Amino acid sequence: MFIGHFGTGLAAKKIDSKPSLGTLFIASQFIDLLWPIFILLGIEKVQIEPGNTAVTPLNFISYPYSHSLFGVLVWAILFGAIYYMLKKNFRTSLLLGLLVLSHWILDLFTHRPDLQLLPWSDFKVGFGLWNSVVFTIIIEGLIFIIGAYFYLSVTKSKNKKGSYGLWSLLTFLTLIYVMNIIGTPPSGTNAIAIAGLFQWLIVAWGYWIDRNRSAVQN
């Protein structure tokens, strides 16, 4: 899942308007922001295997620290705790922690059984939505569209940057998603990891958008 995770970040603005969209993106994509670093360090492993699923050629051989349920729970607690120490806002801290956890829950539905529950256990889970391109696009697309709708319903543009910036981001994410499905597989695991690190640019884009938008007053 890709745009679905960003969809949850967008939707979270409906629940709490205080955190920036960039912060919501970091939380919702946190374990996928860690994963490329772990790949480059050799801590976790992935292989390119065309046909692994209908949606992605990636075979996630080992990612116990970034994507096991236990690992994600630890990251969620740490993320929420650090935010609380910085901002002293329990409600937002809880929301951000739940966003980190939401990534694993969405992955549970999309991945084939390659998600460990515990880093030291070989028992793996995954419902395999990625075996169907059509159902993957429908479900992930709906999450993204609903998230964008919620974000639009609770924010308004301060200027043209706030409007153009948001719509260009939504368009960009959609194009990247389409290219990931119909494009050719990446050339190597390092290329996958480096491409994953570019998600930080989307995070920065989210911060920039939020600076040019304000909350809708009810």
Q: What confidence tens digit (pLDDT) does each residue in 162-185 have?
A: 999 999 999 999 999 999 888 777
CA-atom Rg of the chain in angstroms: 17
Q: What pLDDT is attached to residue 7? A: 97
Number of Cβ within a 10 Å radius of residue 59: 16
Number of structural domains in the chain: 1
Q: What pLDDT is attached to residue 64? A: 97
- Sign, CA dihedral 103-105-106-109, equals positive
- Long-range contacts, 184-193 (Cβ 8 Å, 24+): 185/48, 185/50, 185/57, 186/48, 188/48, 189/39, 189/45, 189/46, 189/47, 189/48, 190/39, 190/40, 192/36, 192/39, 192/46, 192/48, 192/58, 193/35, 193/36, 193/37, 193/39, 193/40
How far is the C-alpha of 101 from the C-alpha of 191, rounded, in Å?
Answer: 26
Q: What pLDDT is attached to residue 185? A: 72
pLDDT in tens, 96-133: 999 999 999 999 999 999 999 999 999 999 999 999 99
> CB-based contacts of 49: which residues, under 8 Å, 6+ apart?
57, 58, 59
**Considering the entire predicted model, what is its pTM?**
0.96
Q: What pLDDT is attached to residue 217? A: 75
Q: What pLDDT is attached to residue 218? A: 63
Kind of pairing, strands 58-62 and 115-116? unpaired
Q: Give the residues of the chain that fall short of pLDDT 70.
A: 218
What domain range is 100 assigned to? 3-215
Q: What pLDDT is attached to residue 187? A: 78
How far is the C-alpha of 163 from the C-alpha of 197, rounded, in Å?
Answer: 26
Closest CA relative to residue 8, chosen from 19, 24, 22, 23: 24
How far is the C-alpha of 145 from the C-alpha of 127, rounded, in Å?
Answer: 23
How far is the C-alpha of 73 from the C-alpha of 87, rounded, in Å?
Answer: 21
